Amino acid sequence: MVLSLGVFLILFTTFLYLLHYVVRGGRKGELIDKIPGPYAWPFIGNIGMFMVCPEELWNLSRKLNKEYYPINRIWSVKVPVINVYHPDDVEALLSNIKHIEKSLLYNFLHPWLNAGLLTSKGEKWHDRRKILTPAFHFNVLRQFVPIFVEQSEKLVKSICLESDEKVYDIVPLLHNFTLNSICETAMGTSFDQEHDVKDEYRSCVSRMGGITLHRLTRPWLHMDWSFKWSQMFKDQVEALKVLHGFSTKIIKERKQYHEETGGRYLKGLGFETGSNVYGFEGEGFVKGKRRLAMLDLLISASKQNANIDDEGIREEVDTFIFEGHDTTAMALAFTLLLLAENKEAQDKARAEVDDKFDESEEGKLTLKDIQSLVYLERCIKESLRLFPSVPFISRHVSEELRLKNYTVPGGSIVHVHIFDVHRDPNFWPDPLVFDPDRFLPDQVQGRHPFAFVPFSAGPRNCIGQKFAMLELKSLIGYFLRTFYFEPVMSSSEVRIQPDLVLRPITPIRVKLVKRSHD
């Protein structure tokens, strides 16, 4: 008995070693092992060190990237993972049309987002990007400005009603704002009344983020069949019920609206098969009280048999609600925190905003006003540099990829650590100092174009970046007009744990003091 167990163990170990040499030997292993990195154990590689809580994982990533600057590799059992954070390497990866396929990490999002724009690949991604790009055309975005303004006014009003000065945990307030904004702009649906639904939705979003990251660092949970046996799978099923319930309701409501109006508003919104033209130039876009939204384009495209059906609509709705609200809420929170901490920048941004309000007849910011808030825009960019809402992205490299100093073999995963790119002292002197003037035109000119990539870059960049900027500038404009921001904590105290966005563990607190306009 003991003997046969012994024999079994010896055979099993020999088998693992053989497997190990098959995987790590050969050209692939050789190329990978040229790249520096921590000692990788036979067979299991480096997974031992990554099975820690999310915050430690975040700290460990920072430490590794510093220690092995400007690139490193780890082995996750049989898959090599290359960590990239030098602008030259970021450029090599992101600007190459061959390498636009997302990695394994995004597969864990499939039960939720299915294969929407963020997670899909190949032809499907191309088709969808083509259908959706016109929805982010300037002529469409400009129609959203009154919604951003209205939502901004609502938020500052509700804060004013509460108190003249008070310390707020701003993240929930901002999440509420961005979720309202994306639902009303992109989905044409107002969720103002339904607080419980939204709260539940938000908590499920961060739960899915946590599950995704947990799976990434635990290879035995990578396969769906093994994941099914874990407690987390049950959590996921619960969360998905809520998430999909939310998007299904939005679609249903919108379709009903078009039925009730006899499809009148979808007419002229022709997604003409093949020509890819939407007819919403100028006035044609706003009809009646409700504006036409991204969701209408999808519904219209599906009616015309473009490559999208009901399931396709839902995956895009799930994708856009998530990508369109969580990222912007984080950007708002960090910008407000940094402005509270940097009084001089805050005053300067406020002076610029006050000018616009003082000139305005209706006391409302217009598209033109928002576009001309150039100093505020620099403040937002500087916040996105220090706290990029999406701190890292990940690609599956199927063909060999030539980086600056190394070659990454096909079949590898490449992580781009946007967070570390943005804090590299070789490109950003005194990286921890908040200095909006880094984004003055002449400063930008002299810098590596891939040293600042909060919205990623290349063919798979963020489709919503202009949308995001308009929304951010609108809300912060109204905040500057209405309050002074005073610091009660320092941005360096914020503890972070990564999930799909840069999530603070601790509340972000800012004191808002109402200004008196007289």
Ligand X SMILES: *[C@@H]1O[C@H](CO)[C@@H](O)[C@H](O)[C@H]1NC(C)=O
Residues that bind ligand X (CB under 6 A): 55-56, 59, 70-71, 86, 88-89, 154, 158, 173, 176, 180, 192, 195, 404-405, 495
Of the listed pieces 208-216, 365-373, 452-460, 503-511, which binds ligand HEM according to CB under 6 A?
Answer: 452-460
Q: Give the long-range contacts of residues 45-53, CB within 8 A, separation 24 or more.
A: 45/74, 45/75, 45/76, 45/77, 45/78, 46/74, 46/75, 46/76, 47/76, 47/77, 47/217, 47/218, 47/219, 50/74, 50/76, 50/217, 51/217, 51/218, 52/217, 53/497
The stretch among 190-198, 199-207, 215-223, 448-456 that binds ligand HEM (CB under 6 A) is: 448-456
- One residue of 112, 227, 280, 455 binding ligand HEM per CB under 6 A: 455
Give the total residue count for the chain: 518
Which residue in 329, 326, 302, 330 sits closest to 315, CA to CA? 302
Give the residue closest to ligand HEM by C-beta. 464
Q: Is 383 in the site for ligand HEM (CB under 6 A)?
A: no
Q: Tell me the C-alpha distance between 405 and 89, whole Å.
A: 9
Q: Is 60 left (phi over 0), alpha (psi -120 to 50) or beta?
A: alpha
In the set 239, 462, 480, 500, which binds ligand HEM (CB under 6 A)? 462
389 binds, among ligand HEM, ligand X, none (CB under 5 to 8 A by kind): ligand HEM
Q: Which does 491 bind (CB under 5 to 8 A by kind): ligand X, ligand HEM, none?
A: none
- Out of ligand HEM, ligand X, none, which partner does residue 195 contact, by CB within 5 to 8 A per kind? ligand X
Cβ nearer to ligand HEM, comparing 40 with 421: 421
Using CB distances below 5 to 8 A depending on partner kind, what does residue 117 bind out of ligand HEM, ligand X, none?
Answer: ligand HEM
Nearer to ligand HEM, 155 or 469 (CB): 469
- Which residues lie across from 25 on neighbouring strands? none
DSSP class of residue 86 equals S
Residue closer to ligand X, measured from CB, 78 or 154: 154
Asked if 319 is part of the footprint of ligand HEM (rule: CB under 6 A), the reply reads yes
Residues facing residue 328 across a β-bridge: none
Say if residues 184 and 250 touch (Cβ distance below 8 Å). no
Contact status: 454 vs ligand HEM (CB under 6 A): yes
Site string for ligand HEM, 261-300 (x = CB under 6 A): ----------------------------------------
462 binds, among ligand HEM, ligand X, none (CB under 5 to 8 A by kind): ligand HEM
Tell whether residue 468 is a contact of ligand HEM (CB under 6 A): yes
Task: Return the one option of ligand HEM, ligand X, none that residue 328 interacts with (CB less than 5 to 8 A, by type).
Answer: ligand HEM
Q: How far apart are CA 418 and CA 422, in angstroms?
A: 6
Residue choice 221, 299, 331, 451 for contact with ligand HEM (CB under 6 A): 331
Near ligand HEM by CB under 6 A: residue from 307, 366, 456, 458: 456
Cβ proximity to ligand X, 197 vs 240, nearer residue: 197
The CB-of-330 to ligand X minimum distance in angstroms stands at 17
Structure tokens at 437: 């003037």
Single out the segment in contact with ligand HEM by CB under 6 A; choices: 60-68, 299-307, 421-429, 459-467.
459-467
Torsion angle in degrees (nearest 10) through CA of 401, 407, 409, 412: -80
Q: What is the spatial distance between Cα 130 and Cα 272, in angstroms, rounded to a whole number?
A: 12
Query: Which residue number, 276 or 426, has a Cβ lying nearer to ligand X?
Result: 426
Does the footprint of ligand HEM cover residue 118 (CB under 6 A)? yes
Edge-to-edge strands of the sheet including 165-169?
A: 165-169, 509-514, 483-487
Query: CA 270 to CA 263: how far, in whole Å?
Result: 12
How would DSSP label each residue in 122-183?
HHHHHHHHHHHGGGGSHHHHHHHHHHHHHHHHHHHHHHHHH-SEEEEEHHHHHHHHHHHHHH
Between 208 and 463, CB nearer to ligand HEM: 463
Paired tokens of 498 = 């990564």
Query: Least CB distance from residue 151 to ligand X, whole Å?
Result: 6
Instruction: Give the interface with ligand HEM as residue ranges (CB under 6 A).
Output: 102, 117-118, 129, 186, 319-320, 323-324, 327-328, 331, 389-390, 393, 454-456, 460, 462-464, 467-468
